[in-house]
Amino acid sequence: MVIERSCSLKVVKRPTAQRRRPYRAGKRAERQAETRRRIVEAALELHTTIGPLATSISAIAERAGVQRLTVYRNFPDEKSLYVACTAPYLTLHPPPDPRSWLAVEDPRERLRRGLSEQYAWFADNERRQAAVLRDIEALRSRGSLPERPPFEAPAVNVLSSGWSARGRARERLRAAIGHALSFYTWRSLEREQKMLRSDAVDLVVEVAEQTARPLRKVVRHIEPTSASARVRATSVGAGGKPAGRIRRGTRAPPASS
């Protein structure tokens, strides 16, 4: 505060550093957000081309135009970086929404629609999915992946509803649908077995129908056997008449001449 002397006193208030701080803090936050965005985009591009295991911090820093230390400051470990990459990836390549399938009442037609949309998404994102999934087991073994439900869990819940299966049959149905929604199942049917998509979907629906049926109880009737049962034989004597039963360990008497 400055007091100027003249005919009257005039109080002049100068802006303080405290008033300018929100403006500076806002600019700094924008720069930090921009830096994080560039790092995430660089990591995502490398993950979906060469795979997470082949992606190094140096490569991410170079592509993002920052120093390695800047990458570590924003993402101290692999897990935090993978978490940050998930949302942008799903925004760029949104998978089908299982909730939209609930509009189909018949569970078989609902399964057919869900599989058709999921398989189409796999085909459109085959290269990216293959690059990431190839390294999944190695990343999970060293604790680099965030804990989250399986990718296909919401789809399984939707596609397994409406069936008449109960108990073990329902468990088997959910397992069959979950297996069918796997990227590797789709790739095996369409890429390796050369099946048309419609044929692959029909095959899975048929398997689901068989799986949803109640299990039949199989009762086997086994005749009781005795360990001490004796082996009996009949010796034929002269004239074709039975010579008598022979027990194990004995010889038949010689035929009379």
The ranges assigned to domains in the chain are 26-92, 98-212
The residue to which tokens 């082949």 are assigned: 54
- How are beta strands 10-12 and 233-236 bridged, if at all? unpaired
SS3 at position 128: helix
pLDDT digits (tens, 9 = 90+) for 108-167: 999 999 999 999 999 999 999 999 888 888 888 888 776 665 678 999 999 999 999 999
| pLDDT value at residue 230 | 47
| pLDDT value at residue 139 | 83
Judge whether residue 245 has pLDDT over 80.
no
Q: 37 has which bridge partners? A: none
Phi, psi of 149 (to 5 degrees): -60, 160
More confident residue, 147 or 61: 61
* Class of CATH domain 26-92: mainly alpha
Q: 12 has which bridge partners? A: 2
Amino acid, single-letter form, for residue 33: A
Compute the C-alpha angle 155/160/162, nearest 5°: 125
Confirm if 98 and 160 have CB atoms less than 8 A apart. Answer: no
State if pTM tops 0.85. no
Judge whether residue 201 has pLDDT over 50.
yes
Band of the pLDDT at 234, cuts 50, 70, 90? Answer: very low
What would the two tokens of residue 96 be?
């089908």
pLDDT digits (tens, 9 = 90+) for 79-92: 899 989 988 999 99
Distance of CA 146 to CAs 80, 173, 229, Å? Answer: 8, 28, 65
Average pLDDT over residues 57-81: 94
Please name the residues in contact with 128: beta carbons below 8 A apart, sequence gap of 6 or more.
48, 93
Phi, psi of 244 (to 5 degrees): 120, 160
